[in-house]
Structure 1
């Protein structure tokens, strides 16, 4: 296993998108936050309606030139810390053994999977020709270890089961993959990405409209719609699927719901067909699934009793997860027998492909035993809003075991700058340390660190102009 080709598939936002050498998404994202929101800010990264699984025409095409190395976010959907130290997290594979697969994350997962197929075949051929130089005593010919972060796992599993990648795969690792979708995709696609539906500023309402119009034409976002029961109707006891015709979600195009269902159903059919021919019904490759369980995560979308209005401030909308992917969606139940086989971590989704999981990833590559829990009681949790309007005060807090004795330190910095500003927390007598801040426009990262033992948590905070 140590001699296998390692291919990394990043998640949504995880690749830099360029045109004529310019970081187009970076420029557009900054423009969206640092001035009153308009559709013009995202014009250069927008896709035409009805693209489906096809590549865009030249005037809409962007080049994915490599993995993102700095934090980023799409307000109302998800964020990422980037992948500045990924090779180290994978145990420093030798030259030619590691392939980072950058791609245009706006496009259909089906299309991206086909491009992954081409890239893997080319890289595996090259690696097979030179593997003797580094691993002369290997037990067999090299295969592929596919490590996928977040939505990249949807690309990876489609490539394996629908496009024949299973024939050369040794292992699939999914790190915080939304195997059953994201409730946040519903909010984004219905114009409720930012805010709780209460006292929204005019700019917040406009930002929601701009984000919705942008996301409606991104095939990848439609394919993130949840296929679990994610709709809670006021006065009803059980959640319902998006396909429940009695309670269609207002503003959510039926065609997008159908595409999400079709995307997941196509994969399920392929997996079921292979199960009938696989020896003992077992996959020919090993699957390791890492999920989060320590952070409040949007799990459902609420509807009014008459089904006419989306409710975004329901107390029961949150559940355990990694802050982005709810616990149940992170389970690769198409490959695992039950949830006890999932490796649970207390890290956030955006941090799962960093050095936090290095020891586990290195052990996996070497074929050594890996543990069933990737965090302990000494972890800390940083609570902060995901999005906030500029000029508004907001509270951040840190929870954890014996923090008062562990020298809590915290800093915040704007993405793209090196200056760190200290954040001073004070204890409130209940074990929670809190601080109050006022947002300035832009994308920010806050990090809290404690000692005894050393633990950290960090989060991207997106501040939009109001």
Structure 2
């Protein structure tokens, strides 16, 4: 007998389920995929003698706490799924299958042993029972018994399991002495803690945790994956300890498990969608698409992304990138992550996502999970080289506008220097002012929240936070009250140690020697001898990944950890790919991806008033289309920032071809310009500078000679014409514009169409701005009303929100004025 219940599931939605209430199935019954079949907490489902219960492909049976399925003599349970539509037998608390059947939202999550078992039962008849499972995922059973198992058979019964998964249960199967036959083939049989160390014997793999054979028969258990590449553990009578599912042969019966599979055969029924969150400088805005994208220059995430795709994830279906504006506070980025997760959940129908984070991206994820607004929608969280307690390297940036020695650091500095100059600052102490005035908060939010400054005449470190630049961001998310929120999430912390002890761990400081010329530098102390040629520059190095010291991210909050020796802050992303894939899917990667490293960069920066285009030795172009308003990106592995008036204009070419480059300039105003070309690698940085005068519409040509580590810039004397490179090595000749010249415009009709399109886009922007302002206002109010935060911490969280609201309101006013003028 079944009862139809209406379950309320938040936000005004109602879902109907068939609830089987401790009832008897007395006639042959078929359950299909059209309904979710639910056995409530403590309920018992009786299948009468001689009756067959069939679960068709796609059927879902959800069992509540301590619930039992009893198969009386001569009855049978037949579950026949398919690869695409497996049968699911799982916990009532498992919202990933069949939705929120218990109507409690995220308040409960499934655990091994939630429901009790499926068993033969002799109360009505002692005839043999048949269980036949094919393409079935059976999870979270085995509760209440000390020797827990989700399946237990006796009474001369028969068991056949093929192409299935018995995973995340308490125990596996109990076969009592009278069981006639048991066959398990081509299936995954593993649980989270099969071989957890015992109190009295840390090397013992408990027989109660796996398959217990109490018969004297020999059973075929070949072709299965037992949770470990070395196969199952033999728990009794001999002991062959491994990390695999234990097999216990209690009364002489044999469990023939060879050959066995060394990796999972079947993946999770449904992979949680994965969102990859990069670190600082790991996202770049692509003006040709109008979108942010993952690091297109150093390709930091390319190999990991390929590994995830090879493991079954599909881009924009189960695999998503979260590139972001890394110049803004992580508090704001965390809000955008919240929106991204909601978008992914709506697109995929999932209730939770997995997050893979690198470097500062891990702090973004923590900010979202630990502070108000978290929607309990993160299942797994993987940190890769995350500076949980900051990195002293950030002190050099924040206090002295100094960056590290490797390629990544130099590119970072050149970009920030250009931005500072474009905003009217010089590129020395002006860069420090730029960080503060333009709220480049992530640099400050990467400062350590522990002791790392040492007075030059002392052997003791100063006590943080006295005499330190304070990092309130990390202080908040490392507060135990906030850290406790991470207990809801399954975490893996991946750390790297380059092995060369060249990671900045502490800084020996004295008074600033630059205070007269650069008064804004080194507010809290200049590294001792920093500008001396022959010294350690006050930098005390130690263990770490060349960016993050081990003291910052090792053994984070008691979470599980994987360590990679010989890996750097960037390379660990590639080296950890197999660990990441196995953590997410339970499956070893079949292949490992390793693309050619980016070892050299050629960077061009223009200090206005001019735009530019670079033509490589093979004729391919990068930069502004000087004959129009578009952008040309023909050089592989290159990036161009665009030429909008609000954008610092630069171009980067990875692993550049040696030879002669041509740089074409187009004046967009009148005055002096400066073009800077830099060659960058981990060991070297060389620079060439050309300065000149240009007027609006004028074109000039420069040539850059690049060979080995040397770059030289000079002007090309073109007479009345300059050569504008064509794709693939071709070229066209074009007359030079006069001072008042301009490119030929399109027809009036086309201009009207473009104008209409422009104003429509402005109107759409206004709607979007209004929606975002309302959303931020609501979130700001929730922070103000939240009682679980100290006042100072609440102010810290509110400051970037208020600043962002002010910026958006100003922008809305500006856009609205454009429409009014129209």
Bin for the TM-score computed over the shorter chain: 0.5 to 0.7
Flag the 1:441–1:335 CA change in 2: closer, same or farther, 3 A: farther
Question: Residues 245-268 of structure 1: CA distance to partner in whole angstroms, max 9, x if unpaired?
Answer: 4xx5xxxxxxxx34x2x2123223
Q: Distance in 2 between matches of 1:82 and 1:369?
A: 22
Aligned to 2:284, the other structure's residue is in SS state strand
Q: Name the residue aligned to 2:441.
A: 219
Q: Name the residue aligned to 2:507.
A: 301
Q: Distance in 1 between matches of 2:581 and 2:683?
A: 27
Aligned to 1:178, the other structure's residue is in SS state coil
Structure 1 residue 321: deviation in Å?
0.9
Q: Distance in 2 between matches of 1:210 and 1:463?
A: 22
Identify which of 160, 171, 176 aligns with 2:380: 171
The equivalences for 1:30-429 within 5 A come to 64-71=291-298, 81-92=299-310, 93-95=313-315, 96-128=317-349, 143-165=352-374, 167-191=376-400, 193=402, 207-216=427-436, 217-245=439-467, 257-258=469-470, 260=471, 262-269=472-479, 272=481, 275=484, 283-294=487-498, 295=500, 296-304=502-510, 309-311=526-528, 312=530, 313-314=536-537, 317-331=540-554, 333-336=556-559, 341-354=561-574, 356-368=575-587, 416-419=653-656
Aligned to 1:167, the other structure's residue is in SS state coil
Aligned 8 A contact 1:89 1:361 in 2:
no
Normalising by structure 1, we get a TM-score of 0.57
Q: Distance in 2 between matches of 1:301 and 1:462?
A: 25
Flag the 1:103–1:195 CA change in 2: closer, same or farther, 3 A: closer
Identify which of 669, 678, 694 aligns with 1:442: 678
Q: Name the residue aligned to 2:178.
A: none
Q: Distance in 2 between matches of 1:163 and 1:121?
A: 16
- Structure 1 unaligned blocks of 5 or more: 24-62, 72-80, 129-140, 197-202, 249-256, 375-382, 385-412, 422-439, 446-458
Flag the 1:4–1:443 CA change in 2: closer, same or farther, 3 A: farther
Aligned to 1:174, the other structure's residue is in SS state strand
Q: Distance in 2 between matches of 1:465 and 1:179?
A: 39
Flag the 1:195–1:66 CA change in 2: closer, same or farther, 3 A: closer
Structure 1 residue 289: deviation in Å?
1.1
Flag the 1:164–1:287 CA change in 2: closer, same or farther, 3 A: farther
Aligned to 1:287, the other structure's residue is in SS state strand
Aligned to 1:301, the other structure's residue is in SS state strand
Q: Distance in 2 between matches of 1:342 and 1:314?
A: 33
Flag the 1:4–1:194 CA change in 2: closer, same or farther, 3 A: closer
Q: Distance in 2 between matches of 1:418 and 1:300?
A: 34
Q: Distance in 1 between matches of 2:373 and 2:276?
A: 18
Structure 1 residue 221: deviation in Å?
1.0
Flag the 1:87–1:192 CA change in 2: closer, same or farther, 3 A: closer
Aligned to 1:89, the other structure's residue is in SS state helix
| Total equivalences in the alignment | 310
Aligned 8 A contact 1:5 1:142 in 2:
no
- Structure 2 unaligned blocks of 5 or more: 1-267, 406-413, 418-425, 513-523, 531-535, 593-598, 601-637, 639-650, 659-675, 690-822
Identify which of 273, 281, 292 aligns with 1:5: 273
Structure 1 residue 148: deviation in Å?
0.6
Aligned to 2:397, the other structure's residue is in SS state helix
Aligned 8 A contact 2:507 2:538 in 1:
no
Flag the 1:301–1:101 CA change in 2: closer, same or farther, 3 A: same
Q: Distance in 2 between matches of 1:173 and 1:346?
A: 20
Please report the RMSD computed on the Cα atoms of aligned residues, expressed in angstroms: 4.0
Aligned 8 A contact 1:289 1:342 in 2:
yes
Structure 1 residue 210: deviation in Å?
4.3
Q: Which of 1 and 2 has higher RCO (CA within 8 Å, sep 6+)?
A: 1
Q: Distance in 2 between matches of 1:123 and 1:104?
A: 19
Please identify which structure carries the higher helix content: 1
Aligned 8 A contact 2:297 2:654 in 1:
no
Please identify which structure carries the higher strand content: 2
Flag the 1:238–1:11 CA change in 2: closer, same or farther, 3 A: same
Q: Distance in 1 between matches of 2:345 and 2:525?
A: 52
Higher CA-based Rg: 2
Q: Distance in 2 between matches of 1:195 and 1:266?
A: 27
